[in-house]
């Protein structure tokens, strides 16, 4: 089952009112792209575009389904330790 996986990454930090900084993260995600008429699973967005644009296939944009699974970060990963003065 082909999946497009985007790993979690830190986008920056957010400063809280109490002075703590916590990481601003993008979540890990897995996307499965399927042709609802044929059941074919695509390995990339580029492959989908080629199939839709091809005159040799009847595939239309409305035949494509994207199932996205989001993995939320653990709370411990999102909370920075309190800085001691």
Q: What is the pLDDT of residues 33-44, one digit of tens each?
A: 999 999 999 999
Query: What is the C-alpha separation between 34 and 8, in angstroms, rounded?
Result: 23
User: Terminus-to-terminus CA distance in the chain, angstroms?
Assistant: 52
Whether pLDDT at 76 is above 80: no
Q: Is 21 helix (H, G, I), strand (E, B) or coil?
A: strand
Q: Rounded mean pLDDT of 51-76? A: 91
pLDDT digits (tens, 9 = 90+) for 12-61: 999 999 999 888 888 899 999 999 999 999 999 999 999 999 999 999 99
Q: How confident is the model at residue 3 (pLDDT cuts 50, 70, 90)?
A: confident
């Amino acid at each position: 089952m082909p999946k497009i996986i985007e790993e979690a990454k830190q986008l920056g930090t957010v400063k809280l009112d109490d002075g703590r900084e916590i990481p601003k993260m993008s979540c890990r995600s897995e996307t499965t792209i399927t042709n609802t008429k044929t059941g074919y699973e695509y390995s990339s967005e580029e492959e989908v575009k080629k199939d839709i644009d091809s005159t040799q296939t009847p595939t239309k944009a409305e035949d494509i389904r994207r199932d996205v699974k989001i993995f939320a970060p653990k709370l411990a990963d999102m909370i920075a330790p309190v800085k001691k003065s």
